[in-house]
Every structure is written in structure tokens, then in C-alpha cells.
Structure 1
Amino acid sequence: MHFQWYPGHMTKAKRMMQENIKLIDLVIELVDARIPQSSRNPDIDELGKNKARLILLNKADLAEEKWNDAWAEYFRKKGFSVVKVNSKKGGGMKSIHGVIQEACKEKIERDRKRGILNRPVRAMVVGIPNVGKSTFINSLAGKSCTKTGNKPGVTKGKQWIRLNRQVELLDTPGILWPKFEDQQVGLKLAFVGSIKDEVLQTEELAAELIRFMLDHYPGVLGKKYAVEEDNDVYVTLSRIAESRHCLVRGNELDTEKAALLLTDDFRNGKLGRLTLEYPQEV
């Protein structure tokens, strides 16, 4: 399976970020806690150099806690501030304002020495499509100030949002980089829904997910779907189709429907808390 997806508006979004970075004190980067490395756009490190940095491990409730902690430590060692959040349910959100002030204390101190008082920290919120930026902003602001959606690519233009007297946020559209050097990165992004499903082969994606689950979380699929796992991933997919009564006319198994069911269950946390990559692999 070969992954490539880079709509035209993403090129425009990157250019817009380059133009606005000079206005910014802090770059807040959301990553998916299940794939913290693969869900980072390498362009953002270049764009955000010389700026304070905050990484939010979003959807932390969907990833294993021990790996959330390991990833948080990994990023802190690289000089980032880090917070584990679940912006949909509000987990970890109360600590954000304090962390923003701490991350920008040098800037605030510089301003104070120059006689500039109470200028709000200007933060740019960045991240790849479908990582939960708009949900995070709405949760942080306590009101619906950006358009949100669960499809990648909903946020199209820039929006300034004033949170309080201390912080202003610049929301930006999600950006994927033009070419995945490593197709494994593309695969993981497809698992979590950051690449539009219309460009994917559903059954092949589900087969790869089953392969990962058998290697790293043996027994989970068997328990969830009441099936016997088989090393032949397509046999396992067929058994899931049978167990969940995914049938087409003539009582034949509908493995495409089973594949959609499986990927949805994974994305929504119905298979449990799962982490797809680990700091020691980076």
C-alpha cells in the first residue's frame, strides 16, 4: 500500500504559517499520543526554531499510559514542554495555561524589562489533519470558536482566538508533509484517520492493523470479537466478519464491512488503550 496525500490547501497553509511565525511567541504542537513521532510534521521544527515549544500528547486516553509517560520524557529531553491531554473530554486541560506561562517565561521577563506589561502570549496551534486541534481550542476556550469536524482538513484558513488577557491563539489548517519517506509513517497515519479514507484500500489497511495487533497485542482481537486469531491476517478478518454478521446478499462474508468496523473500533478506543510506536525506535 502506497500513501500519498497532499491537497493544494496544505501548500497554502504552510506558506501562511511561514508568514505568521514572526508574530508568534509559542508553537503549540498537537500530536496523536498513539503515534507521537509519526504524527509530527518535520517541517514544524524548522518553522518553529527560536520559538518556545509545547507538545500536547492528544488522545492520551487512547494510548497506553506507560508509553504516554515515556514519550513525554522523550520530548522533555529534547527541550519541549509537554502535557498529556484528552481535549474531547477535557483531560489535562486545566494545566495548559500554567504551562504556557512557564514555557514563555523568558519572553515575559524580556517584555517586563523593556516596560511592556500584560502583552498576551501569542501561540500558534499546529498539527497534522485530524489530530484534534479545533477540539483542543474549543475545549481550552470553553466555547465553540472554531469549526470542528472529525474529517481531516476541516480547518481551511487562519483564525485568531483570544482566550483571556494572557493568551491569544492562532489556529492553522492541518499540514501533512508532501512526501512520506517512510511508508510505515503513512500506514500509522492511516490507522488513526489522518489520511482521508477515500484514498485508502480498506481491507488492506485492516489487514495491516491485524498484523500489528497480532505482533504487539496478541489476544486482544480474539477477546473483542470472540474469534480465534490466525497468523493469516485475512483469515482473522474473515472470522471477524463472521462473528459480527457482516454479510452480503447470498450470505457471503462482507470483509470490507468488517474492515471498516475494525478500523473504527481501533480509532474510537474500543479495542482498548493501544500505542503503535515507542521512543526507543526513534
Structure 2
Amino acid sequence: MAIQWYPGHMHKARKQMLEVLPQVDLLIEVLDARIPYSSENPAIAKLRGDKPCIKVLSKSDLADPEVTALWQDYLEREKGVKTLAITSTEPGKMKQLIELCRKMLPARDASFKSINTMIVGIPNVGKSTLINILAGRTIAKTGNEPAVTKAQQKINLGSGIVLLDTPGILWPKVENPKSGYRLAATGAIKDTAMEYDDVGFFVAEYLLQHYPELLQQRFQLEQLGATELEFLEQAALRRGALGSGGRVNLHKICELLINDLRSGTLGNISLETPGMIAGEELEVAQLQAEKANQKKSRKQNFKARNSAANSAPKDKR
């Protein structure tokens, strides 16, 4: 699924981030614990350079805890990176973030200077909820849809921590098609920019492979269909997602399935693991190389045709 969604305020926010980064001591990047790889903006790593970074895995109560632990170990292999898995139902754990900021910059703590942090992340990843809990009051606007925060704001969290909030930023194009599906499935992409049927089939296929028992339990099925279409038909009959004449309404059942995933009604589900990523990145690299070769070949053919046409003998009549 090719995602291209880059509203104007996101372009502006990226420019603002570049302007203030020299004043920032530490970055806090909020990721969706269900999709840490897909929700990690590749532009952020380039922007932060060698600045220390805390990768906060939000919505961890919706993710598979065993997979989240694997992600924390994987992410902390990068120099200068620490992780913290949080959920909005445990505000006390969220506040551990302030202590972790000080531990990562002990020299600044000893000098009694404020630590300037910047919080970044893609839309609808739980960034605003985290800020409000840390601040102890409603500062950042929250909403169950992406792109709520539209401008930067500076927030004093106390304990010597100053936090700069930024709008959620996607990048111009999501190269990995599977990441596009995952972003859509978890709500990082506005529903108007996705097709429920398309995303629903992707989710059904993944869950049949990795979490079949949760599907059986949720839809009360003794046996699951062998394909995603067969399962969706079974689920539609169970949930009454039918149209005229009792025919299966695929759009409706896909929408119900996606909403169950987003709300956690299906159970604790992670949509990607560290082990999956290397193979997917190789596939993307191969696809990009093929496209580049095709483009180069088209240009060469075009030049050859032009050259042949120009060298052809002219009719002097």
C-alpha cells in the first residue's frame, strides 16, 4: 500500500525542527508499540545526528508484550538510545521518563542546568496524551485521529526539564508497502486516505498467520477459513455485516475488524517484529533498484530513438 500524505503543516514543522535542534539536548521519539519500525520516521534519525534519544513505545497495553520486549532490546543496540514502554493507563510509568532524561545526561544534572528536550513522533501515536500526563495538566490537544497538533509549543515540566512539542510528522512517501498498511491499520493515516477493504484484507491475512487463536476467540469460530476472504466471510456472518439479500458486506466487516484491532478488543497484537524487518528492507531495496533500472533503460531507449531519427538521411526534395 503506497502512502503519500504530507500536509503543509508537516513540511513547516520539519523546517521548524531544524531551526531549534541546536538548542536541544535530548530527543524523545514516541513510537507505536504495535509497529515500532513502521511508526519510526526515518527523517528523525538523520535530523538528530548523535544527540541522545529516548524511544517511547506508547500504547504498549495494545501490543504483544513478548514482541515489545524484543523491540526494546533491538532498539537499544543503537548507541545513545534508551527505550521506555508506556500506556496511558499507567501515568506513574510515564513520569519515569523525566528520571530517564536526567540519567541520560548526568553532566547536565550535576550542573543544575535545565535539560532541553524535544518530543517527536508520527500522528496519532499518543504524544499529546504523554505530554499532558507529564505536565500534570491539559496542555496538548488530544484526539483519536492523526494530525491534531498543528504548531510547536514549549512546556516546562518542572524538575529541570523543558519540553518542546512538535506536530506529528510523516515523511513524503512510505517506501515499504507493508509499513503503509500497518500505519493505516493502527490509525496513523487518516481514514479518508485509505481503503478499508484493502487494509482489512492485509490485517486478516497477518492475523491468520500470527494470532489465529485471538480471531477464533473474538468471532467465536471453531475453525478458521484457510484464506483471508474465507475468514472475513465467516466473521461477517457472525457480526451481521451483511448487505441486501444477505450478501457479505466486505467494507463493513473490514471496518469492524480494523476498529477491533485499534481498540484492543481483539487482544494484545503486534503487527511487526525485529526479525521481519531485514527481509522487508531487502525487498524494498530490490524493488527500488528495479525501478531505477527501468527508468534508466527508458531514458537510454529514448535517447537511442532520438539519435537514430536525427541521423536518418533527410529528404532533399
**TM-score category of the 2 structures, normalised to the smaller one:** over 0.9
Asked whether 1:166 is paired with 2:160, we answer yes
Alignment-mate amino acid for residue 14 of structure 1: R
8 Å Cα contact 2:27-2:119 kept in structure 1: yes
Q: 1:213 to 1:231 in 2, by over 3 A?
A: same
Following TM superposition, by how much is the alpha carbon of 1:75 offset from its aligned partner in structure 2, in angstroms? 1.6
Give, in whole Å, the separation in 2 of the partners of 1:90 and 1:210: 33
Give, in whole Å, the separation in 2 of the partners of 1:197 and 1:182: 19
Greater Cα offset, 63-72 or 168-177: 63-72
Partner of 2:69: 69
Partner of 1:105: 106
Give, in whole Å, the separation in 2 of the partners of 1:217 and 1:182: 22
List structure 1 segments (4+ residues) > 6 angstroms apart after TM superposition: none
1:1-282 aligned at under 5 Å gives the runs 1-79=1-79, 80-90=81-91, 92-109=93-110, 112=111, 118-227=112-221, 228-282=223-277
Secondary structure of the equivalent of 1:221? helix
Following TM superposition, by how much is the alpha carbon of 1:53 offset from its aligned partner in structure 2, in angstroms? 0.9
Secondary structure of the equivalent of 1:219? helix
Give, in whole Å, the separation in 1 of the partners of 2:107 and 2:203: 44
Alignment-mate amino acid for residue 22 of structure 1: P
Give, in whole Å, the separation in 1 of the partners of 2:209 and 2:249: 25
Give, in whole Å, the separation in 1 of the partners of 2:50 and 2:273: 27
8 Å Cα contact 1:55-1:81 kept in structure 2: yes
Following TM superposition, by how much is the alpha carbon of 1:205 offset from its aligned partner in structure 2, in angstroms? 0.8
1:37-90 Cα shifts (integer Å, max 9, x gaps) = 111001111111132211101111111112111111112221211111113542
Alignment-mate amino acid for residue 222 of structure 1: Q
Give, in whole Å, the separation in 2 of the partners of 1:107 and 1:51: 14
- Structure 1: segments with no counterpart, 5+ residues: 113-117
Secondary structure of the equivalent of 1:163? strand
Greater Cα offset, 69-78 or 129-138: 69-78
Partner of 1:115: none
Give, in whole Å, the separation in 2 of the partners of 1:181 and 1:54: 25
8 Å Cα contact 1:88-1:135 kept in structure 2: no
Alignment-mate amino acid for residue 201 of structure 1: E
Following TM superposition, by how much is the alpha carbon of 1:267 offset from its aligned partner in structure 2, in angstroms? 0.8
**Percent pairwise identity:** 39
Following TM superposition, by how much is the alpha carbon of 1:250 offset from its aligned partner in structure 2, in angstroms? 4.5
Greater Cα offset, 75-84 or 122-131: 75-84
TM-score normalised by L of structure 1? 0.92
8 Å Cα contact 1:129-1:152 kept in structure 2: yes
Greater Cα offset, 200-209 or 244-253: 244-253
Partner of 2:308: none
Give, in whole Å, the separation in 2 of the partners of 1:91 and 1:232: 43
More helix by percentage: 2
Count of equivalent residues: 275
TM-score normalised by L of structure 2? 0.82
Secondary structure of the equivalent of 1:240? helix
Secondary structure of the equivalent of 2:57? strand
8 Å Cα contact 2:6-2:170 kept in structure 1: yes
8 Å Cα contact 2:2-2:175 kept in structure 1: no
1:161-190 Cα shifts (integer Å, max 9, x gaps) = 111141111110011111112111111111
